[in-house]
Amino acid sequence: MATTVAGVHAVPKSESGLWSWITTVDHKRIGVLYGVTAFVFFLIGGFEALLIRIQLARPENTFVGPDLYNQLFTMHGTTMIFLAVMPLSASFFNFMIPLMIGARDVAFPRLNAFSYWVFVTGGIFLNLSFFLGGAPNVGWFAYSNLTSSQYSPGHGVDFWAVGLQILGIASLAAAFNFIVTIINLRAPGMKLMRMPPFVWMTLVTSFLIILAFPVITVALVFLLFDRFVGTHFFVPSGGADPLLWQHLFWLFGHPEVYILILPAMGIVSEVLPTFSRKPLFGYPVVVYSGIFIGFMGWGVWSHHMFSVGLGPLADSFFALTTMLIAIPTGVKIFNWLATLWGGKIELKTAMLFALGFIALFTMGGLSGFMHASPPADLQQTDTYFVVAHIHYVLFGGAIMGVFAGIYYWFPKMTGKFLNETLGKIHFWATMISMNLTFFPMHFVGLLGMPRRVYTYPPNMGFDTMNLLSTIGALLLGASVLVFVVNFVNSIRNGKPAGSDPWGGGSLEWAIPSPPPSYNFATIPTVRSLDPLWHKEGREAALAANQVRGPIHMPPSSYWPAVSALGVTLLLSGMVFGWFVGIPGLILMLLGLYSWAFEPVT
Amino acid sequence: MAVAALSHPAPEAHPTSTGLNSRKMLFWAFLGSECMFFGSLISTYLIYRGRDSAGPHPHEVLNIPFTSFSAFVLLMSSLTMVLALAAVQHGNLRGTKIWLAATALLGMTFIAGQCYEFTHFFYDGLKLQSNLFGCTFFVLTGFHGTHVTVGVIWLWSLFMMAVRGKLPVERALDVEIAGLYWHFVDVVWIAIFTLVYLIQ
């Protein structure tokens, strides 16, 4: 096997070409792969959203029919959650975590590659459904018994259930990897309470993933058994309780909400201090709040089910826990505001997105808090009010956080700046069109417009606001295009950025941009939360770039990709048949065994 | 834990922040995840228990003496697993081979017992599709059996490594991690045996 030995013996050759990307185990390149792939899925999901909005632009529109409409909103939700936001976060985990904790790579570089390849093949599999008999059309939370073979006879639900199983494997493998990486690969002196907040939020997110995904795995297993074998897990005529699905799904689904938002909170907690020239206010409280959210996230799931009629005791309990979880979230918001207070604020694009995050996420939090009250929730459930809420927290929250992260770390990743003028246009266009799209949804929701219905009659008071939403959505699409143009241009001829263009305080800014394949020539010793803002910083930065002895990097390998392809083919065999499943099984076993016995130096 | 007390410090390419081995830590995290997996399966079984109007019901088909025996076999395999780990850690190649094979064979005996049991239930009229007991029971115990099967394949792979002399003391961690998995699967069976068979 080819071993990349950097340092005094040899300087690593710049690798290029398709094969080098397939076999790479470098966390930075895998981070790039994650980011680019997830962004493509983000564009696909966004395109689906635009089709939905065009259909709803005016009453009784016939742009898409009800059947395609059902597929579009199901795939829009599923794509944005599992194929865009989660892997976009994973892209930052991959690229930034080893740099922020002072490590040369993740703990399991090949497992990391495996996660990526399972994710991309799973995502392709899920989207193939559009061409193979129709995409899933049961909503992203796929309530039983709409998903039974009786009510959903096509293959759409099968694609959905199997696709989510495949993606679950990718998320689980990545989460195990990051838990071990963060706990075990920190630079000397980096105690847990000296980890940057983004690293902390990644750790909490990873724990949520490894504990939440098995629950949906089981729920999907039951669903697949019901559909393929004829069991009665969710069949009322067999004595089953279809609510079991809702409980299992939301027991996964609510922690999943925090899986989506915590990384964005972590990014914002990095960006705000840097551009306020102040350490994060109340760092320990921000960390404890994140951990508390991680715990409490397990005790609120039934607030998705108030309309089911679980009884006053359960409703009161889940109303209280839901209100309780607003407290650590609010604590964080106050900490961010206090970080700004008295700071020397620089309104770079990354900072604008982080501030946008605070504003929009707070609004999403307020509408979420309204649902915490069961009587209010009964009015709002299944209306556009909920759609407004989810988009304020997921677009206004997670996506704004992701964009803040992209503008913040792009110089580190590429060695070049994104264009600030285009960036600011992107920000303001996003901010305005986002509110134009989603704010009116609060009102149409309270007026009673149901979600997931492909059209509405005229003169219900919905017309103008729906048109506004559609205009907003088209503008939002245009603002994403501005970003794409900026991104492509800046990669080609962006202004060169030094190793620490923003004056950040954490370790990733101590090394060159883009970082060398081995990240740190010498692993620095850490004595504070933001070492580069202290006296030790210069010394650490100097040490980080000084080669002392040979550096062994893990060799590249194609077995993770082979195993991942095998896993995906094996599971997709459930839909396509044995002639796909059996080769998948063979490929998976070949891949895993070769991987296990592959010599690593 | 007996296994941990026996273990030598595992060889590591790089020292870790906690001093704990990364592979072992990953595996503990994996087992935590598995707890939620089996927890969800067992909870579903318990939620649906006693809801069937149509039989066969658990007390009509479950054969406690027989399953007690296979549970005993599986628990004994944990003992042989511990012995296999002790052998590999002391560089005892012969012991390693014997105890790995013994563990795998005990595991296969358990699987054979489960196949017999499932066949028997099938002829008693209990199928996956019969009722809620059928689907929850077969899916729960089936997934446990699948885990045992994966463990058996893993043990034979280690056995083959030992036969080829590729399992020296330095690779004792490979056996230790397989042992963690194996003991976990046993513990899950204790939970299933108690909740499904003993407390009907």
Provide DSSP, A167-204: HHHHHHHHHHHHHHHHHH-PPTT--GGGS-HHHHHHHH
Residues of B in contact with A107 (CB under 8 A): 22, 26
Look at residues A596, A588, A574 and name the one whose alpha carbon lies nearest to residue A229: A574
φ, ψ of residue A523 to 5 degrees: the values are -70, 120
Check if B135 contacts A (Cβ < 8 Å): yes
Contact partners, residue A521, CB within 8 Å, separation at least 6: A7, A544, A545, A546, A547, A548, A551
HSE, CB side, 13 Å, CA atoms: give it for residue A535: 0
Continuous segment of H or E residues that includes residue A131 = none
- Interchain pair B36, A214: CB under 8 A: yes
Domain-wise residue ranges, chain A: 31-148+158-524, 555-601
Which amino acid makes up residue A57? Answer: A
Q: Cβ–Cβ contacts within 10 Å for residue A340, how many?
A: 18
Q: What is the pLDDT of residues A18-66, one digit of tens each?
A: 888 888 999 999 999 999 999 999 999 999 999 999 999 999 999 999 9
Is residue A382 exposed (0-12), middle (13-18) or buried (19+ Cβ within 10 Å)? middle
Look at residues A404, A292, A294 and name the one whose alpha carbon lies nearest to residue A348: A404
Q: What average pLDDT score do residues A313-322 get?
A: 94
HSE, CB side, 13 Å, CA atoms: give it for residue A544: 32
Give the residue on A whose Cα is nearest the Cα of B51: A239
CATH topology of domain A31-148+158-524: Cytochrome C Oxidase; Chain A (1.20.210)
Q: Which member of A177, A210, A221 has the closest CB to residue B139?
A: A221
Continuous segment of H or E residues that includes residue A341 = none
Cα–Cα distance, A448 to A444 (Å, whole number):
6
Check if B141 contacts A (Cβ < 8 Å): no
Give the residue on A whose Cα is nearest the Cα of B24: A180
Check if A107 contacts B (Cβ < 8 Å): yes
A290 to chain B nearest CA, in Å? Answer: 20
A108 to chain B nearest CA, in Å? Answer: 9
Residues of B in contact with A592 (CB under 8 A): none
Helical packing angle, A349-371 and A420-446, nearest 10°: 10
Provide, rounded to the nearest whole percent, the portion of chain B with pLDDT above 70.
93
pLDDT at residue B12 is higher than 50: no
Longest dimension (CA), chain A: 76
Q: What is the pLDDT of residues B61-117, one digit of tens each?
A: 899 999 999 999 999 999 999 999 999 999 999 999 999 999 999 999 999 999 999
Look at residues A362, A371, A300, A301 and name the one whose alpha carbon lies nearest to residue A332: A362
Contacts 24+ apart (CB under 8 A), B16-19: B16/A184, B16/A185, B17/A183, B17/A184, B17/A185, B17/A186, B17/A190, B18/A183, B18/A184
* Block residue for tokens 């966004």: A46
Provide, rounded to the nearest whole percent, the portion of chain A with pLDDT above 90.
84
- Interchain pair A239, B51: CB under 8 A: yes
Q: Which member of A218, A225, A241 has the closest CB to residue B37?
A: A218
Contact partners, residue A32, CB within 8 Å, separation at least 6: A91, A95, A413
Cα–Cα distance, A306 to A291 (Å, whole number):
26
Continuous segment of H or E residues that includes residue A356 = helix A349-371
Q: Chain centroid to CA A245: how far? A: 24
Q: Which member of B16, B29, B131 has the closest CB to residue A179?
A: B29
- Interchain pair B37, A177: CB under 8 A: no
φ, ψ of residue B120 to 5 degrees: the values are -60, -45
Residues of B in contact with A184 (CB under 8 A): 16-18, 20, 22, 25
Which A-chain residues 244-263 have CB contacts (< 8 A) with chain B? Answer: 244, 248
Mean pLDDT of chain B: 90
The domain made up of B21-51+65-198 is a member of CATH 1.20.1250.20:
no
Q: What average pLDDT score do residues A78-93 get?
A: 96
Confidence class of residue A166 from pLDDT cuts 50, 70 and 90? very high
Q: Cβ–Cβ contacts within 10 Å for residue A111, how many?
A: 19
Question: HEC string of B30-59?
Answer: HHHHHHHHHHHHHHHHHHHCCCCCCCCCHH
Look at residues A401, A431, A422 and name the one whose alpha carbon lies nearest to residue A486: A422
φ, ψ of residue B199 to 5 degrees: the values are -100, 90
What is the DSSP code string of A468-529? HHHHHHHHHHHHHHHHHHHHHHHHHHPPB--SSTT---SGGGGS-SSPPTTS-SSPPP--SS
B79 to chain A nearest CA, in Å? Answer: 26
Look at residues A445, A576, A503 and name the one whose alpha carbon lies nearest to residue A166: A576
Q: What is the pLDDT of residues A520-560, one digit of tens each?
A: 988 888 989 988 898 877 777 877 888 877 787 888 889 99
A181 to chain B nearest CA, in Å? Answer: 8
Q: Which member of A172, A229, A552 has the closest CB to residue B33?
A: A172
Cα–Cα distance, B66 to B70 (Å, whole number):
7
Per the CB < 8 A criterion, the answer to whether A568 and A119 are in contact is no
B200 to chain A nearest CA, in Å? Answer: 19
Residue A452's pLDDT is 93
Q: What is the pLDDT of residues A211-248, one digit of tens each?
A: 999 999 999 999 999 999 999 999 998 889 989 999 99
Q: Which member of B17, B32, B37 has the closest CB to residue A217?
A: B37
A7 to chain B nearest CA, in Å? Answer: 17
Residues of B in contact with A248 (CB under 8 A): 40, 44
Question: HEC string of A59-118?
Answer: CCCCCCCHHHHHHHHHHHHHHHHHHHHHHHHHHHHHHHHHHHHCCCCCCCHHHHHHHHHH
Q: Which member of A184, A231, A232 has the closest CB to residue B17?
A: A184
Residue A300's pLDDT is 93
Continuous segment of H or E residues that includes residue A552 = strand A551-552
Contact partners, residue A288, CB within 8 Å, separation at least 6: A328
Residues of A in contact with B129 (CB under 8 A): 229-232
What is the DSSP code string of A300-338? -GGGGGGGG---HHHHHHHHHHHHHHHHHHHHHHHHHHH
Residue A32's pLDDT is 96
Give the residue on B whose Cα is nearest the Cα of A192: B17
Helical packing angle, B172-192 and B22-48, nearest 10°: 10
**Mutate which of B26, B41, B42, B138 to disrupt the A interface (most A C-beta within 10 Å)?**
B26
Q: Which member of A180, A186, A233 has the closest CB to residue B26?
A: A180
Q: Cβ–Cβ contacts within 10 Å for residue A83, how many?
A: 27
- Interchain pair A177, B17: CB under 8 A: no
Q: What would the two tokens of residue A537 be?
A: 């910083």
Q: Which of A83-87, A548-552, B144-148, B186-190 is the least confident region? A: A548-552
Check if A292 contacts B (Cβ < 8 Å): no
Q: What is the phi-psi region of residue A200: left when phi exceeds 0, alpha when psi lies from -120 to 50, beta otherwise?
A: alpha
Residue A597's pLDDT is 86
Handedness of CA A324, A329, A333, A339 (dihedral sign): positive
Per the CB < 8 A criterion, the answer to whether B183 and B81 are in contact is yes
- Interchain pair B44, A186: CB under 8 A: no
Which A-chain residues 138-197 have CB contacts (< 8 A) with chain B? Answer: 172, 176-177, 179-180, 183-186, 190
**Mutate which of A203, A206, A232 to disrupt the B interface (most B C-beta within 10 Å)?**
A232
Check if A120 contacts B (Cβ < 8 Å): no
Cα–Cα distance, A393 to A360 (Å, whole number):
7
Count of CB contacts below 8 A, A vs B? 101
Per the CB < 8 A criterion, the answer to whether B74 and B141 are in contact is no
Check if B22 contacts A (Cβ < 8 Å): yes
Contact partners, residue B157, CB within 8 Å, separation at least 6: A593
Residue A15's pLDDT is 67
φ, ψ of residue A507 to 5 degrees: the values are -60, -30
Q: Which of A179-193, A287-301, B52-66 is the least confident region? A: B52-66
Q: What average pLDDT score do residues B8-15 get?
A: 49
Residues of B in contact with A183 (CB under 8 A): 17-18, 25
Q: Which of A10-19, A380-389, A438-447 is the least confident region? A: A10-19
Q: What would the two tokens of residue A164 be?
A: 């989510």
Is residue A175 exposed (0-12), middle (13-18) or buried (19+ Cβ within 10 Å)? buried
Q: What is the pLDDT of residues A454-469, one digit of tens each?
A: 999 998 999 999 999 9
Q: What average pLDDT score do residues A71-96 get?
A: 96
Contacts 24+ apart (CB under 8 A), A226-230: A226/A144, A226/A148, A226/A149, A227/A147, A227/A148, A227/A149, A227/A157, A227/A158, A227/A161, A228/A158, A228/A574, A229/B128, A229/B129, A230/B128, A230/B129
Q: Quick check: bond before A145 cis, omega within 30?
A: yes
Per the CB < 8 A criterion, the answer to whether B29 and A180 are in contact is yes
B40 to chain A nearest CA, in Å? Answer: 6
Strand partners, A551: A6
Q: Which member of A180, A231, A241 has the closest CB to residue B29?
A: A180
Check if B51 contacts A (Cβ < 8 Å): yes
- Interchain pair B131, A232: CB under 8 A: yes
Give the residue on B whose Cα is nearest the Cα of A219: B40
Check if A526 contacts B (Cβ < 8 Å): no
Contact partners, residue A401, CB within 8 Å, separation at least 6: A261, A263, A264, A265, A267, A268, A353, A354, A357
Check if A233 contacts B (Cβ < 8 Å): yes
- Interchain pair A184, B25: CB under 8 A: yes
Q: What would the two tokens of residue B137 be?
A: 């029971």
φ, ψ of residue A65 to 5 degrees: the values are -80, 170
Strand partners, A383: A450
Cα–Cα distance, A185 to A520 (Å, whole number):
13
Cα–Cα distance, B42 to B37 (Å, whole number):
9
Q: What is the pLDDT of residues A286-314, one digit of tens each?
A: 999 999 999 999 999 999 999 998 999 99
> When comparing pLDDT for A447 and B3, which is higher?
A447
Give the residue on B whose Cα is nearest the Cα of A105: B14
- Interchain pair B132, A232: CB under 8 A: yes
- B87, B113, B163 from B99: Cα distances, Å: 8, 21, 13
Check if B128 contacts A (Cβ < 8 Å): yes
Check if A215 contacts B (Cβ < 8 Å): yes
Cα–Cα distance, A22 to A542 (Å, whole number):
34
- Interchain pair B135, A184: CB under 8 A: no
Continuous segment of H or E residues that includes residue A5 = strand A5-6
Cα–Cα distance, B17 to A15 (Å, whole number):
31
